[in-house]
Each structure stands twice: as structure tokens, then as C-alpha cells.
Amino acid sequence: MIVEGILKGAVMMSTPLLIGALAEVFVERTGVMNIAIEGIFLIGAWAGFVGAYLTKSIGIGLVSAVLAGFVVGAVYGYFTVYLKQHQIVTGTAFNILSVGLTLYLYRVFFGVPLIPLTVEPLSSMKIPLLSKIPLLGEALFNQNILTYMAFILVVLGYWILYHTRLGLVVRSTGANPEAVDAAGINVERVRYGAVLFSSAMNGLAGAFYSLGFLGLFTENIIGGRGWIAFAICFLGNWNPLGVLVGALVFGLADAVAVSIQTSAFKLIPNEFVIALPYILTIVATIARKHFNVPAYLGTPYVKERR
Amino acid sequence: MKRSKKIALSLFPVYSVFLGLALSGILMLLLDANPFVVYKKMLIFVFRDAYNVADIFAKATPLILTGLAFGFAFRASLFNIGAQGQFYMGCLASVACSLFMGNLPALVLLPLCVVVSGAAGGLWGSLVGYAKARFNANEFLISMMSTYVAIAIMNYLIRGPLIESKGEYPQTDVITQSAWIPQIIPHTRLHWGFVLAVVVAALAYFILWKTTLGFRIRAVGMNRDSARYAGINEKRIFVEVFFISGAFAGLAGFMEVNGIQHMLVQGFNPYLGAEGIGIAILGNAHPLGIIFAAILFGALKVGGNLVVQTSSIPSSIIGIMEGLVMISVIFSYFLKERILVRMEKKMLQAEERKEGPRK
Amino acid sequence: MLRWGRPLPHPFIEQNYFKAVITMPIEREDKAVELIGITKYFPGTVANYKVNLTVKKGEVLALLGENGAGKSTLMKILYGMYLPDEGEIWIDGKKVDIRSPQDALSLGIGMIHQHFTLVPVHTVVENVLLSAFNTPKGKASVSEVAKEIEEIGKKYGLEVDPYAYVNQLTVGMQQRVEILKALYAGARILIMDEPTAVLTPQNTKKLFEFVRDFRKAGNSVVFITHKLNEVMEIADRIVVMRNGMVTGELSRQEASENELARMMVGKELEEITVTNPSEGNLSGEVVLSVRDLKVKSARGHMAVDQLSLDIRAGEIFGIAGVSGNGQEELAEALCGLRSVEGGEVLLEGRNIVGRKVVEIINEGVGYIPADRHREGLVLDMNIEENLILRKFESEKFSAKGVLLQENIHQYAQKAIGEYAIKAPSSKVKVRGLSGGNQQKVVVAREMDIATTVLVAVQPTRGLDLGAIDYVHRTLLRARSEGKAILLISTELSEVLALSDRIGVIYRGRIVKVFNRQDAKVDEIGLAMMGVSNDETQ
């Protein structure tokens, strides 16, 4: 029972990480880092909650989260792709801004409620028969819709990236934008589109925390998990399947940490269990000698004069 | 370039500050507040009494240091995102030193805490630098993750060996009087740490522009190939830069623990690192600019707090102002570069018309 | 039959040129490509000036000339990468407007560049698909493309595994992929820019077989090269360019290597008045001795292959050769910037192979690099800082880690005066200086460092005449101070004007050494092109 619970928790906790990391893979393959990921997660969580609360419909909440991410991405993309400003500097500015902005706009909408506002979080959708499979059944087939979406996204992402013309262009843009330019494709447009898509997805991923899990919105709801999604993209070697493995590993670490904390098993201090994902990232970053980093990641593309 | 044009261009950061504040003002309208009234109130409150003005500098003190942390590394084209963690390590070292060496006289204890906090932050930071030098690891990711590890260590220690005698809350005891940084202006929060921070900024300036180490750092940051051509060992620079940068952030820990809080509470000042990045950007990674930017942010915080206390605007407006100012500054960098390039083009064309093309 | 025409009026070049015109006109239907009056300006230079060029159907046209002659620029205009400032382009008898490589491809023009536009981490098929993305054939499936690649490969002897990853292919195979990209898009006119620069002799043979097959099928090839022997082997017609203009046009039968060399390198060389009046010291002690040096290039092949030379004190040893024959790798190895695979470098008897850059600087070896922006200067530092860039640890400029600002300032003032560096002050960022003054900073610094040896690579690249003259006089002064100077330049005139002895580098070795008095332009030119008198023609 405990193991099943942990597995189910693992898959659930890995969902937003998976969505965020997939989005990051997509955009980094074109050569742009979406450094605003943590901030967009937060904005997605906020927008999702506000939308769901005001309209009493989680569906609208999710849509608003996607839209909010899209809008932020539009500005971030403009600064980094077209104005060619530094991605890390711009992203950090956005991250700082979103903390204040989400709190402020929450206040604008709701004032200071005496009791924290809540919505009914997404309920799990049990898939009949399959969810009865021992051990994995609950974990894989009794989750909320976002989790199922995330799985579909992995498959879809893999197929698009490696088996379609669009995916070819995306992959080529980060590997050698000159080759893409020589083929007559507008590099900036590809990158901007990728930023828009990834930001929209990041918004959705953030909404998982407020709508799919806790049913409320607080300042610390994301708590650095956007950065973990960012790291997973790295560690998964910019490949949807690698990202899937990475997200599950981190989700597992998260779920194990929760269960250790709630149980009496206190061999390792709590704090280090919480820090496990981050330590994992450091170790993996160092250990991995052979990253398939997109060759032109982080470099703005400047066309040669004619 | 004409002198007047040069001055106009160098004032771009100032325009951005105003732009950022203006945009924040628009947001204030959403809460039915009149931004002009709000800003006027802010100015009046801030300068109304010495306590508030002093508080500006008190708040600016740690910001100068975390700003230096990011800015110094930036000069080497390195990204130290882990200032928050290095700050916490400095806090831990300083509070431990203050608690366990509390019986030493202030003249010995305070400098000891300075050294210890700087060393703690520096060593923590140099781990990142070493990872980059040895394994060519991505310092952005590692420095960011190191913050969370530092938080874990801090939380563990605060709840464990360093916990207060009462054992109730996750915080340490109050440190002895001899470990308190004396105030410059009595009955305010402004302590001599501010002066120390300015001195450290001057030191950063001195290192970067007056020493061979700084020469190497800047060369590596501006042109790695030329630096190699000049015989500079860039791997050593990685470690050295991250040590110094981390030491700056660690020193901020001394400032906050011994100067303001006089104890260590779990999870305090959680945005000091990120704000440091913003301040470094605003100050163009130059120690003098960082000092001014830190004072600006300090003013925003103090004024913002006062506004919060006296009106219906929530404290999150402060973060908004900071973020919008930062974004405006980034945009102004783009504009400035565009203008400079256009001017240079015009100059080149004029020159060509005079001399004729060369072959 | 040849007819000599009037020299063309050229506003910026004083020398006279002969223009050979073929009397037999080319029929309209035979013209695949016609370029009329093409002119292209870049800031500070004229890349092409009123160039007329015709490419017949079913012929291989060799476009011959030294580096900087304007051949690549001209072809890039044809391929739509540059827009001409003046002139017209006619394809198949119709006037066309080519504004992008896509336009060129749709007209049947393909180009194989020196630097491939390939995505190394992708397969051959993916690369071909990407390049054809905006064409109707770009919608094909992977298997369809793979099949066609195999077919084209078989037809022309360009077999490549369609599913191989490009970064695992040899350079020769990678070039095949570039060609396949163009053929897949239906190119009937293929422009090849120095294709044999990266090929081994065997691969070159295979490439030529392809070119002949391609021509047999009625297509045309424009073969840009500077290698005379290849031209004689593969070309039907030859057009020679120099300084942005056409200086000669011959058919293969009418051409001889000597004639082509002269057209390429310029008749005016025989009229050069030697700029250094006094004789170099040909009997000084040997200061630098290189023995069987082997250095690998960045791409992995042996760029310097058992090279040996000696340089004496008070002598300028000039290395002449077409770029890409190992000059830069040689210079970098001598200065400690590139690791050495074998051989020795003896500086006053001591082997300096494997020593760190700082140590070599302290041994008194100065290095003026080819690319001052990438290596020689830090553009955002000021003049003072750049002047001490390689010696900031010396006692003159720093004490216990602190820079001695006053000393540095004085030193800079002296250098500015001595080298007539035009700048408002020594605190100005080097980025704002003109190219000539930037180079003066580099020269000033390296002259000071070089107490024994000075290595100068392309020291006058991109400079105006006044700056060139200044640098030359500085090198001569260094010689008179007793330094050993290694001058590496692709400008033959420069090498000839300054050197006491001239070594020709070809494929990583010094193939021939001349004393200045005995040097004959023709011989040197031939040696540069890899033709030696020992070979039977």
C-alpha cells in the first residue's frame, strides 16, 4: 500500500515538472533559454486559480493559465529574440516581477480574505480495469487529467520533434541557425514561436500546483520547482524521453520525501530529503560529460549583412 | 561624441527608473489609488524623519553586497545565481561565531565574524567555480541549485544544533551585545555595516581596475581568446572569481545577522540574492552604480513599507516596482546600443567620404 | 587567338592591367549564366568592379585568383547571398533578379561553400530535407528523400549513407552531402568555392570525376580556386581575377601555368622597388630553429607536417603561401598557443615546445596575430591596458599584484608618440580606433616584448596604405635592432618587399627557400601553387 501510494504520488508530482521540462526542451532546441520559467509557473498558478475561482470552472482556469503564460512569453520572447537582450538578465527580471505581480493582482481581485480562498482541485479520473493493475495501476491510471495530458505530451512531443518537418526545423535552429537561414527559414520567427509555446505550457504546468493539487494560491506555491523543470530539460539531454525519466525520478524523490516526513522514519534529517532533488541536479550536471547541448543555445542570431 | 549627447545617454538608467515607477503607478490605479498621491506620500514619509532615511541605508547595505556578488562575477562573464545560498552560509557562520565566541570583546568578535562570514560564503561559492573549472559544468545551474542546498543546511542547523534555548521556534538565540554592529545614528537601524559595505564596494573597484587579478578577470570576461593569448589561466580565474563573489554575499550575512536581526530566523530575507541580480543590472555591474542602485532599492522598500502602512496598497507593490524598473533598464540598454550603433555608422560613413575607401 | 585590350580605368588602383579577350563570341543559347557589369562595395573596399562573366552550358569554368580577389563575393552575388550595387544577371538568356539563395536554387543554381552549412548532429537525410524546406520537394517523406539521395549518389559516384550522422562523416563525405543538397534541389549550375581546400588528393580525384560526369550531363560548374594544377586538370575555360576585377580569360589550351601565375599575382611585382635599402644580415647567428615540427589543426588534420626552418638574428624570414597551408598553426605553435605533436623549436638552443604562453613571452618572443580583434586586442579595454596585455605581471607594470598606473601611463604615452598612434588619449577604448591604429597598438606591444624573435602574421591585413607603410618600416627597424623576424603573409608583394629570405609553405612544409636577390616571381608563384620544377608536367 505504501509503495503504491508513493508511486501514485510520484507520478502526480512529476506532472508539472514533465510539462515544464518538455516545454523547455522545445524552446531550448531552438537555441533560446526560457529563464523566466519559474516566474511563468507562478503566473500560471495564479491565473489558473483566479480563472477557476471567478468562473467556478476549472477548465476556464486552465485556459487562463495557458493564456497568461502566452502573454508573458510574448514579452519575454520579444526582448530576447528580437531585441537580442541577454536571456539570463531578462529572465531574472521577469522572475522578480512575477512574485510581486501575482501577489498584487491577487489582492486586486480578492482583497485580503479572512479564510484562504480555495477551489475544488482537479479530481482523479479513474480508468476502469487498467487502474486495477497491481502496483502500477493506481499510479498510472488513476490520476487527474493534467497527468494524462502530460503523458500524451511526451509521446506527441517525441513524435513532433523527431518525425515531422516542424521538429526538424526546431532542432536545426538551435544546432546551426545558419543552416536554417540558408534554407530560407526565418530563424527569429521559429524562436519566437517556440518561446510562445513553451511559456504557454509553463503557465499550464504552474496551474497544476494551484488547481490540480492544492486548490489554492499562495506566495510560495512554486518554491523553485520551475527551476527543477529547467534542470530536468538539461539532464534529460533535451530529449522528451530523457525528460520523462528525469521528471519521474524527481517526482519520486518528492513523493518519498513527503512520505518520510509524515512517517516516523527519521534516519536522514528532513531538510536533506527536501534538498535531494537539488543535490541530484548538481551531481548529474557535473557527472554528465556528454551533453547534447544545442550548439547555439543562448546566442542571439544576427544575420550577416547583405 | 558630443559631451551633451554623452551625458544624455548615460542618464538612460535614470529614465528607466522613472519609467518603471510610472508603470507601477498604472497598476496602482487598479486598486483605486492615485499614483501621484501615493508617490508624493512616499517622498514625504521617507524624508520626514531620520529613522526612515537611515533605514534606507540600512536596507541598502546587504543589497550592495549581493549586487557586488553578481556584478563581480559578471565581469568575468560568469553567472553567480547562488548569492542567496552564499548569503545564508555567511549568516550561519556569523551567527555560529557570535553564539559560540560570544564572550570575546566586540573589537575582536566583530572582525572575526566578518572574516568567518566572508570565508563561508567564499568557500561555498568557490565550489561552483571549481565545478566549472574542473568539469566545465554549467555554473548557472549549479550555483542556482547550491542555494537550495544551502537552505537545507541552514534549516537543519537552525532546528538542530543552533536552535534557541527555548526550543520553540526555528530560530537561534539572540546574540550577545558584543556581537551587535554599533549604530551610526542612535535609535535608527543604520549600523556601521553600511560603511563597511561601501568600503567593500571600493575594494571591488580596486581589485577590478587596479590590480593584476582584476585585469585578468576583465580580460577573461571580455575576450576569452585574447586572454588566452595573453597567457591568462582562465580556470584559475573561475575559482578565484567565484570565491570573491561568494565572499561578498557571505558578508551580507554578517550585515543582516549582526546588524539588524541579531539572530538567525529560518527563511528570512529570501529575495536578497535575486534582488542583488537586479541591482547589479541596474548598476551596470559597476561598484559605484551598484551602491546607487542599492540605495534606490532601499528607498523603494522603505517608502513602499510606509505606503503600505498608510494606505490600502499591499507590500507586493515593492516587488512590482523593482521588477518593472529592471525591465525598463533592460529595454533602455537596447535603445542605447541601437543609438550608439547608428551614431557609429554615421561617423564611419562621414570618414569614408573624406578619405575614400581603402584597399 | 588572344587580343590584348585597353587597361580598364579603376579609380583606386594605380597599376595597369592587361585584359585578354577571346575573339570568338559565345552563342546566346550556350550561355547558362551571364553576369554583366557586376559591382559590389563593402565599407572601405571595392569587392567587385564592373565584372563581366559568362558560364556556358556543359562547361567547367575555373575562377582563379588570390585571396581577396573577389571571386567568392562574385559567386555569392550569383547565389543571392549578396545584392550587387550595380549590374545584371541573366540566366538561360533571361534577365533575373536573385535576392536570396532560394531564388538562386529555383533557377537551378547551387553553391558549395568553403564552410559547410550542415547541422552536424543530424543525419544526411535530415540535412537535405532542411535545405529543401521551402521548395516543393521539401514536403517529401524521409524515405523518399533517402531513396533519391541514393539514386543521385549512384548516378554521380557520390554515395553516402543517407542515415549517417554528419558529424561522423569525414570532411570529404560531408562535402558530398553539400553537393547532394544542391543536386536534390535540381541544380544545373554548381558553384564550388575552394572545394579541394579540405580534401586529400584521393578525394580530390573523386571530386573531379564527379565534376566531369556532371558536365557530361550538360550541366555547368564554376570552380573557384587558387590552385593552378587543378585548374589545368579540370577546367575548360579559365577566368582570372585580381583586386575585384577580371584580369584574364583563356581557354584551357591557350593557358600555361606560368602565364596564369603571372596573371594571378600581377605583373607589377617585377616593378616593385624594394623598400628596404640595406641588406639584411645573412650571416648572423641562428636564433630560431624549427625541426620537423608537427602541429594539428583545429579540425584534426596535420596542418604543419615536418616543417623545418632557421631564422637568424637581424634577418627577416618571410613565409609565402596561400592561406590554409599551415601558416597560422605554425605561428600559434611557436608562441605556445597550440600544442605540438612532434618536432622541436629551439630558441637560442633551448627547446620551447610545450612551454606555457607566459614563459614564451618572457623568453622574448613577440607575436602579432592574424586576427587582432579575436586574439590580439581586448576591444573594450583602453590603449594602456592593451599595451600591457601580455606583460602586465612584469615589474615595470605591477608590484605585488597592484597595477602601477603611473608607470603604465608613461609607457603608453611613449608608445603613442613612438608609433604615432592617432588617439585623443591613452585612456580611449581600443574599439574606437581605426584599424591601422589598432594594429599599431599590437605592433608596439609586441615589438617591446620581442627581444629575440618576432612572429608577424598578416600584419597589414585590412590596413590603409599609410598604416601598411608604417608597419613595414617598423619591421625593418626591428631587423636592424638584431631581432629575428618571421613574417607570414598571403600578400606576396609584402613578403617580397621585406624579406631577406623567402620560404614557400605548401601543405605544412617549407618546400623551397629563396634569397631575395635570387627570387623570381614566377618560381615563387609556382611553388605557392604546389608546382615544383621537379615534377614532370
What DSSP letter does each residue of C279-315 carry, written as one string?
A: PP-TTS-EEEEEEEEEEE-TTSSEEEEEEEEEEETTE
Quick: pLDDT tens for C489-504: 877 778 888 899 999 9
C450 SS3 class:
coil
Domain membership of residue A130 (yes or no) is no
- Judging contacts by C-beta atoms under 8 Å, the chain C residues touching residue B231 are 336, 356-358, 361, 390
- Judging contacts by C-beta atoms under 8 Å, the chain B residues touching residue A107 are 31, 314, 316
Give me the mean pLDDT over the B112-127 stretch: 95
Nearest to A233 by CA among A25, A39, A28: A25
Contact C357/B215, CB-based, under 8 Å? Answer: no
pLDDT at C283: 66
Nearest to C20 by CA among C231, C257, C241: C241
Strand partners, C507: none
Among A77-91, B57-71, C31-45, the range of highest mean pLDDT:
B57-71
Distance to chain C for A179, nearest Cα, Å: 5
Could you tell me which chains touch chain B, where touching means 3 or more CB pairs under 8 A? A, C
Is residue C278 scored above 80 in pLDDT?
no
Longest dimension (CA), chain A: 70
Domain membership of residue A300 (yes or no) is no
Is residue C282 scored above 70 in pLDDT?
no
Contact B231/C463, CB-based, under 8 Å? Answer: no
B vs C, Cβ pairs < 8 A, gives: 80
> By the CB < 8 Å criterion, does B354 face chain C?
no
- Judging contacts by C-beta atoms under 8 Å, the chain A residues touching residue C76 are none
Partner residue facing C117 (CB), from A171, A179, A185: A179
Is residue C16 scored above 50 in pLDDT?
no
Domain membership of residue A2 (yes or no) is yes
Distance to chain A for B318, nearest Cα, Å: 7
Distance to chain A for B354, nearest Cα, Å: 24
Provide Rg for chain B, Cα atoms.
22
Confidence of residue C9 (pLDDT cuts 50, 70, 90): very low
Amino acid in position C178:
E
C467 versus A180: the higher-pLDDT residue is: A180
Distance to chain A for C163, nearest Cα, Å: 14
Mention every residue, 6+ apart, whose C-beta is less than 8 A from residue C329. C295, C296, C297, C303, C304, C338
> By the CB < 8 Å criterion, does B141 face chain C?
no
> By the CB < 8 Å criterion, does A155 face chain C?
no
Give me the mean pLDDT over the C231-252 stretch: 87
pLDDT at C44: 65
> By the CB < 8 Å criterion, does B343 face chain C?
no
Percent of chain C with pLDDT over 70: 88
A vs B, Cβ pairs < 8 A, gives: 131
* Contact of C44 with B357, CB cutoff 8 Å: yes
Distance to chain A for C243, nearest Cα, Å: 20
Partner residue facing B330 (CB), from A85, A230, A282: A85
B178 versus C282: the higher-pLDDT residue is: B178
A282: exposed, middle or buried (Cβ count in 10 Å: 0-12, 13-18, 19+): buried
Range of lowest pLDDT (A26-35, C65-74, C106-115, C395-404): C65-74
- Judging contacts by C-beta atoms under 8 Å, the chain A residues touching residue B333 are 85
- With CA atoms as reference, the chain A residue closest to B274 would be A96
> By the CB < 8 Å criterion, does C126 face chain A?
yes
Distance to chain C for A151, nearest Cα, Å: 26
Contact C378/B358, CB-based, under 8 Å? Answer: no
B248 versus C8: the higher-pLDDT residue is: B248
> By the CB < 8 Å criterion, does B359 face chain C?
yes
> By the CB < 8 Å criterion, does C134 face chain A?
yes
Range of lowest pLDDT (B95-104, C16-25, C127-136): C16-25
Range of lowest pLDDT (B248-262, B307-321, C284-298): B307-321
- Judging contacts by C-beta atoms under 8 Å, the chain C residues touching residue A28 are none
pLDDT at A304: 60
Partner residue facing B316 (CB), from A92, A103, A269: A103
Domain membership of residue A67 (yes or no) is yes
What secondary structure does DSSP assign to C170-214, as a single string?
A: -HHHHHHHHHHHHHHTT-SEEEEESGGGG--HHHHHHHHHHHHHH
Quick: pLDDT tens for C160-199: 999 999 988 888 889 999 999 999 988 999 999 988 877 7
> By the CB < 8 Å criterion, does A46 face chain B?
no
- Judging contacts by C-beta atoms under 8 Å, the chain B residues touching residue A224 are 148
Task: Give Cα A234 to chain centroid, integer Å.
Answer: 13
Contact C378/B229, CB-based, under 8 Å? Answer: no
Distance to chain A for B19, nearest Cα, Å: 15
**Chain A, window 169-188: residues with a beta carbon less than 8 angstroms from a chain C beta carbon:** 169, 171-172, 175-176, 178-180, 182-185
Distance to chain A for B52, nearest Cα, Å: 23
pLDDT at A197: 96
pLDDT at A127: 75
Nearest to A29 by CA among A164, A159, A184, A198: A198
Domain membership of residue A302 (yes or no) is no
Instruction: Give CA–CA dist B36/B50, Å, rounded.
Output: 24
Tens digit of pLDDT at every position of chain A (306 positions) = 677 778 888 888 899 999 999 999 999 999 999 999 999 999 999 999 999 988 888 889 999 999 999 999 999 999 999 988 888 888 988 998 998 899 888 888 887 777 878 878 777 777 777 767 776 777 777 778 888 889 899 999 999 999 999 999 999 999 999 889 888 889 999 999 999 999 999 999 999 999 887 788 888 888 788 988 998 888 888 899 999 998 998 888 778 777 776 665 566 677 777 787 788 778 877 876 556 677 777 777 776 655
pLDDT at B354: 65
Q: Which domain holds residue A217?
A: 1-123+137-287
- Judging contacts by C-beta atoms under 8 Å, the chain C residues touching residue B228 are 337, 357
Distance to chain C for A256, nearest Cα, Å: 38
Number of residues in chain A? 306
Domain membership of residue A294 (yes or no) is no
Range of lowest pLDDT (A82-91, B246-255, C273-282, C370-379): C273-282
Quick: pLDDT tens for B146-177: 998 999 899 888 888 888 777 778 888 888 88
> By the CB < 8 Å criterion, does A21 face chain C?
no
Percent of chain C with pLDDT over 90: 36
- Judging contacts by C-beta atoms under 8 Å, the chain C residues touching residue B215 are 385, 392, 403
Q: What letter would DSSP give residue B11?
A: T
Confidence of residue C523 (pLDDT cuts 50, 70, 90): confident
- Mean pLDDT, chain A, integer: 85
Is residue C275 scored above 70 in pLDDT?
no
Strand partners, C340: C295
- Judging contacts by C-beta atoms under 8 Å, the chain A residues touching residue B321 are 100
C199 is written with which cell numbers? 580534401
Give me the mean pLDDT over the C120-140 stretch: 88
Mode of pairing for the β-strands spanning C220-225 and C60-64:
parallel
Residue C222 is inside which H or E element, if any? strand C220-225
Give me the mean pLDDT over the C448-467 stretch: 86
A vs C, Cβ pairs < 8 A, gives: 55
Domain membership of residue A131 (yes or no) is no
Is residue C212 scored above 90 in pLDDT?
yes
pLDDT at C276: 52
Give me the mean pLDDT over the B54-63 stretch: 93
pTM equals 0.81
Partner residue facing A108 (CB), from B30, B155, B277: B30
- With CA atoms as reference, the chain B residue closest to A279 would be B149
Is residue C268 scored above 50 in pLDDT?
no
pLDDT at A142: 76
Quick: pLDDT tens for A169-214: 999 999 999 889 888 889 999 999 999 999 999 999 999 999 887 7
Give me the mean pLDDT over the B243-257 stretch: 95
Domains by residue range for chain B, with CATH: 34-312 (1.10.3470)
Contact C463/B358, CB-based, under 8 Å? Answer: yes
Please say whether the dihedral angle defined by the alpha carbons of residues C331, C334, C340 and C344, taken in this order, is positive or negative: positive
* Contact of A138 with A8, CB cutoff 8 Å: yes
- Mean pLDDT, chain B, integer: 87
Cβ count near A128 (within 10 Å): 7
The domain tally of chain A equals 1
Among A62-71, C218-227, C388-397, C466-475, the range of highest mean pLDDT:
A62-71
Quick: pLDDT tens for C414-424: 999 888 888 88
pLDDT at A198: 96
Contact B218/C375, CB-based, under 8 Å? Answer: no
Distance to chain A for C69, nearest Cα, Å: 19
Contact C385/B227, CB-based, under 8 Å? Answer: no
| CATH classification of the domain holding A224 | 1.10.3470.10
Is residue B195 scored above 90 in pLDDT?
yes
Mention every residue, 6+ apart, whose C-beta is less than 8 A from residue B261. B268
Distance to chain A for B73, nearest Cα, Å: 13
Domain membership of residue A20 (yes or no) is yes
Which of A163, A171, A176 has the most C C-beta neighbours within 10 Å, making it the best mutation to test the interface with C? A176
Nearest to C50 by CA among C85, C96, C90, C6: C85
Task: Give Cα C338 to chain centroid, integer Å.
Answer: 20
- Judging contacts by C-beta atoms under 8 Å, the chain B residues touching residue A257 are none
Partner residue facing A178 (CB), from C100, C117, C127: C117
Provide Rg for chain C, Cα atoms.
25
- Judging contacts by C-beta atoms under 8 Å, the chain A residues touching residue B83 are none
- Judging contacts by C-beta atoms under 8 Å, the chain C residues touching residue B348 are 43
What secondary structure does DSSP assign to C52-67, as a single string?
A: EEEEETT-EEEEE--T
